């Protein structure tokens, strides 16, 4: 062969690589050490950056920006910035006036009168009136809207019948008395009702826009919203850009001009984007890299309580758990939650000895065994296990069902080894893809133990106790207790907060004694937040409004 061809072409590959790097070097903004040297927040520590742009990692791509058609966490984060309910949540998680300036509640707790703000405006300048809320709430429960979370509005008079198609949407207990006064009638006193009003199912929508564009109104250039921000751009699977709504009634207190939301499902990917300074806040963290984060980015790591429970359900419609509360209690006692949360999950999750996380207006029921040492628990577990007819020679064989996920697998391995060590139970782990797992759980034909979890929709104990109501769509254990259902019904109708809490406490006690579910831990939120994001405050519902945040000079 001729050497000329070789010599001529030999430099092509290195040149190509060099070129690709050179293109990359062109932009100095990408430099990693942008924060080095510059003091965050200037000399005073509170100086604002010139560009008020926040970039948030947001988990999955939102299903919809129509507040009546979505339910997930990523959607709620966006909609909280776009829309404003009658109430909003303050930075610490307390209910505050939103589109309504104030309200009056009748003595029986059944009638709410909301006084609207005179200066509230939609993002196109139209005034926000009581009629908008009347339209929005009716639309939300109207079966033809195809909302799958309208059940949130069940406390409102006639809502349940409208959702079921038995009454027309106009019969909903919501009425605009005039432009600035809205009346809402409830079917029973609901102490958490003001909290329901900042859920997306109760957000208002702009009637002319919805009527003009039908199903396709929630898009850039069309969507009109009444929150602190409005929609500027939406590139599916890439980003959603919100910009300041200058008509917002509290616009002067909004610091951010733009909020960029990035759908990044993979948590390791999100971490890398954060480390490369492409986002300012993550939505979650990869559980396997927590140790690295703790030692390398300790000041940016934010961990706080989250209103949710991770639990194991036991199928009580079949052997071995049918009519066998001793065995159910034995399995519960044999789990060492301290070890599980400190050595396995490690983010600071709270060991759960009851079923209800720390919610407002409620004191959790603390069972007796919560105060025991793990040795005492194990001894009692062995006694119950043997009483149920099992022993080391004749061990119980169990299957744990979980949906495919690294965390669930690790936890199932840990729990099954605790059961093996203390009681000698032989466990088989079964993982199924999400939708298959849901169906298996629901049919109750093959499941014995299944992994489950629930994040509260509103800050109230009822939200959690309701899971185990015999008619609940979440009760896949098949457990039913008449007394339990009765106590929940009493709690739903009770106006006196102390008595209501007592009913719920008794219900929780029944649940923990009969043990159709084994509480494992209460969730925490874990995320990284850049030091220049000001105004960030954790709260139990993890509702972070972008309007409360600002960017410090850096």
Partner 1 sequence: MLRYSLTRFLGAIPTLLILITVAFFMIRAAPGGPFDAEKQLPPEIEANLRAAYHLDEPLVQQFGRYVWNLARGDFGPSFQYKDYSVTELIAAGFPVSLRLGGSAMLLALLVGVFAGTMAALRQNSRTDHAVMAVSMTGISIPNFVMAPLLILFFAVYLGWLPAGGIGDGGLRYMILPVISLALPQIAYISRLTRGSMIEVLRSNFVRTARAQGLPERTVILHHALKPALLPVVSYLGPATAAVITGSVVIEQIFGVPGLGRYFVQGALNRDYTLVMGVVVFYGALIILFNLFVDLVYAWLDPKVKYA
- Establish if 46 lies at the interface with partner 1 (CB under 8 A): no
Question: Which of 262-270, 485-493, 499-507, 535-543 is the region at the interface with partner 1 (rule: CB under 8 A)?
Answer: 262-270
Closest of 216, 66, 201, 207 to residue 124, by C-alpha: 207
Q: Name which of 5 and 498 has its Cβ closer to partner 1.
A: 5
Among 41, 54, 56, 65, binds partner 1 (CB under 8 A): 65
Among 14, 25, 44, 445, binds partner 1 (CB under 8 A): 25
Closest of 137, 113, 131 to residue 185, by C-alpha: 113
Interaction residues for partner 1, span 147-206 (CB under 8 A): 147-148, 150-151, 163-165
Among 41, 58, 59, 69, binds partner 1 (CB under 8 A): 69
Question: Which of 176-184, 233-241, 289-297, 298-306 is the region at the interface with partner 1 (rule: CB under 8 A)?
Answer: 233-241
Q: Name which of 69 and 382 has its Cβ closer to partner 1.
A: 69
Those residues with Cβ within 8 angstroms of residue 119's Cβ, 6 or more apart along the chain or in another chain: 249
Among 54, 56, 59, 66, binds partner 1 (CB under 8 A): 66
Nearest approach in angstroms of CB 251 to partner 1 is: 27
Please count the residues of this chain forming the interface with partner 1, following the rule CB under 8 A: 71
Among 157, 176, 184, 218, binds partner 1 (CB under 8 A): 218
Q: Name which of 160 and 380 has its Cβ closer to partner 1.
A: 160
Rounded CA-CA distance 349/436 in Å is 28
Closest of 493, 456, 462 to residue 110, by C-alpha: 493
Backbone angles phi and psi of 243, in degrees to 5: -130, 165
Q: Name which of 117 and 530 has its Cβ closer to partner 1.
A: 530
Nearest approach in angstroms of CB 339 to partner 1 is: 27
Contact 499, 271 (CB under 8 A): no
Q: Name which of 19 and 177 has its Cβ closer to partner 1.
A: 19
- Establish if 326 lies at the interface with partner 1 (CB under 8 A): no
Interaction residues for partner 1, span 113-152 (CB under 8 A): 143, 146-148, 150-151
- Establish if 13 lies at the interface with partner 1 (CB under 8 A): yes
- Coil/strand/helix, residue 56: strand
Question: Which of 115-123, 216-224, 243-251, 313-321 is the region at the interface with partner 1 (rule: CB under 8 A)?
Answer: 216-224
Question: Which of 88-96, 250-258, 414-422, 447-455 is the region at the interface with partner 1 (rule: CB under 8 A)?
Answer: 447-455
Those residues with Cβ within 8 angstroms of residue 359's Cβ, 6 or more apart along the chain or in another chain: 307, 456, 459, 460, 461, 463, 464, 540
Interaction residues for partner 1, span 461-490 (CB under 8 A): 473-474
Those residues with Cβ within 8 angstroms of residue 169's Cβ, 6 or more apart along the chain or in another chain: 138, 139, 141, 142, 162
Q: Name which of 123 and 150 has its Cβ closer to partner 1.
A: 150
Rounded CA-CA distance 155/197 in Å is 11
- Establish if 11 lies at the interface with partner 1 (CB under 8 A): no
- Establish if 238 lies at the interface with partner 1 (CB under 8 A): yes
Among 92, 106, 118, 219, binds partner 1 (CB under 8 A): 219
- Establish if 30 lies at the interface with partner 1 (CB under 8 A): yes
Q: Tell me the two tokens of residue 217.
A: 């109104």
Burial pattern 166-176, b for ≥16 Cβ within 10 A else e, equals eeebeebbbeb
- Establish if 237 lies at the interface with partner 1 (CB under 8 A): yes
Nearest approach in angstroms of CB 343 to partner 1 is: 27
* DSSP, residue by residue, 351-407: EPSSSS-S-TT------GGGGS-HHHHHHHHHHHHHHTT--SSS--EEEEEEES-HH
Rounded CA-CA distance 503/461 in Å is 11
Among 272, 296, 446, 470, binds partner 1 (CB under 8 A): 272
Burial pattern 127-161, b for ≥16 Cβ within 10 A else e, equals bbbbbbbbbbbbbbbbeebebebbebbbbbbbbbe
Q: Name which of 271 and 316 has its Cβ closer to partner 1.
A: 271
Provide the terminal-to-terminal Cα distance of the chain, rounded to the nearest Å.
60
Q: Name which of 148 and 376 has its Cβ closer to partner 1.
A: 148
Interaction residues for partner 1, span 386-415 (CB under 8 A): none
Contact 337, 520 (CB under 8 A): yes
Among 122, 262, 311, 355, binds partner 1 (CB under 8 A): 262
Burial pattern 200-238, b for ≥16 Cβ within 10 A else e, equals bbbbbbbbebbeeeeeebbeeeebbbbbbbbbbebeeee
From residue 483, give the alpha-carbon distance in Å to each of 369, 469, 477, 507, 508: 23, 10, 17, 8, 11
- Establish if 36 lies at the interface with partner 1 (CB under 8 A): no
Contact 206, 132 (CB under 8 A): yes
- Establish if 221 lies at the interface with partner 1 (CB under 8 A): no
* DSSP, residue by residue, 312-346: EEE-TTSTTTTT-HHHHHHHHHT--HHHIIIIII-
Q: Name which of 26 and 298 has its Cβ closer to partner 1.
A: 26
- Establish if 51 lies at the interface with partner 1 (CB under 8 A): no
Interaction residues for partner 1, span 425-444 (CB under 8 A): 433-436, 438-440, 442
Q: Name which of 263 and 367 has its Cβ closer to partner 1.
A: 263
Rounded CA-CA distance 3/6 in Å is 5
Among 16, 104, 446, 489, binds partner 1 (CB under 8 A): 16
């Amino acid at each position: 062969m001729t050497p000329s061809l070789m010599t001529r072409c030999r430099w092509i590959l290195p040149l190509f690589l060099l070129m690709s790097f050179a293109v990359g070097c062109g932009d100095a903004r990408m430099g990693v050490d942008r924060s080095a040297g510059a003091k965050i927040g200037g000399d005073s520590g509170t100086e604002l950056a010139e560009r008020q742009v926040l970039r948030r990692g947001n988990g999955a791509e939102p299903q919809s920006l129509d507040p009546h058609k979505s339910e997930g966490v990523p959607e709620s984060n966006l909609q909280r910035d776009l829309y404003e309910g009658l109430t909003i949540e303050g930075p610490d998680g307390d209910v505050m006036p939103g589109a309504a300036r104030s309200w009056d509640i009748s003595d029986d707790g059944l009638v709410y009168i909301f006084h609207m703000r005179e200066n509230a405006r939609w993002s196109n300048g139209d005034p926000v009136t009581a009629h908008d809320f009347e339209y929005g709430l009716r639309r939300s429960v109207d079966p033809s809207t195809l909302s799958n979370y309208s059940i949130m509005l069940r406390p409102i008079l006639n809502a349940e019948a409208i959702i079921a198609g038995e009454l027309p949407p106009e019969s909903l207990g919501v009425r605009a008395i005039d432009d600035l006064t809205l009346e809402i009638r409830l079917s029973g006193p609901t102490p958490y009702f003001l909290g329901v009003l900042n859920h997306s199912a109760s957000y208002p929508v702009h009637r002319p826009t919805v009527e003009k564009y039908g199903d396709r109104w929630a898009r850039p250039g069309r969507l009109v919203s009444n929150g602190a921000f409005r929609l500027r751009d939406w590139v599916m699977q890439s980003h959603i850009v919100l910009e300041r709504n200058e008509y917002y009634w509290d616009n002067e207190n909004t610091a951010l001009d733009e909020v960029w939301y990035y759908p990044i499902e993979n948590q390791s990917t999100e971490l890398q984007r954060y480390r490369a300074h492409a986002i300012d806040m993550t939505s979650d963290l990869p559980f396997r890299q927590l140790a690295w984060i703790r030692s390398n980015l300790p000041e940016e790591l934010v961990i706080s309580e989250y209103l949710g429970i991770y639990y194991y359900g036991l199928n009580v419609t079949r052997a071995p758990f049918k009519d066998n509360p001793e065995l159910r209690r034995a399995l519960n006692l044999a789990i060492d939650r301290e070890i599980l949360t400190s050595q396995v999950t490690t983010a600071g999750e709270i060991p759960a000895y009851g079923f209800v996380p720390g919610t407002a207006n409620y004191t959790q029921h603390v069972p007796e065994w919560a105060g025991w040492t793990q040795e005492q628990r194990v001894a009692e577990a062995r006694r119950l296990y043997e009483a149920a007819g099992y022993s080391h020679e004749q061990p119980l064989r169990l299957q744990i069902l979980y949906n495919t996920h690294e965390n669930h697998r690790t936890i199932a391995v840990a729990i099954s080894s605790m059961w093996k060590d203390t009681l000698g139970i032989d466990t088989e782990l079964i993982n199924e893809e999400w939708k298959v797992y849901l169906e298996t759980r629901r049919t109750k034909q093959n499941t014995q133990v299944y992994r489950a979890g629930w994040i509260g929709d509103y800050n109230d104990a009822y939200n959690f106790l309701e899971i185990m109501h015999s008619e609940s769509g979440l009760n896949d254990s098949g457990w039913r207790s008449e007394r339990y259902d009765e106590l929940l019904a009493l709690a739903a109708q009770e106006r006196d907060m102390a008595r209501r809490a007592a009913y719920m406490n008794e219900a929780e006690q029944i649940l923990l004694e009969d043990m159709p579910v084994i509480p494992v831990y209460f969730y925490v939120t874990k995320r990284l937040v850049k030091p220049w994001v000001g105004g960030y405050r954790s709260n139990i519902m993890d509702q972070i409004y972008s309007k409360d945040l600002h960017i410090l000079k850096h």
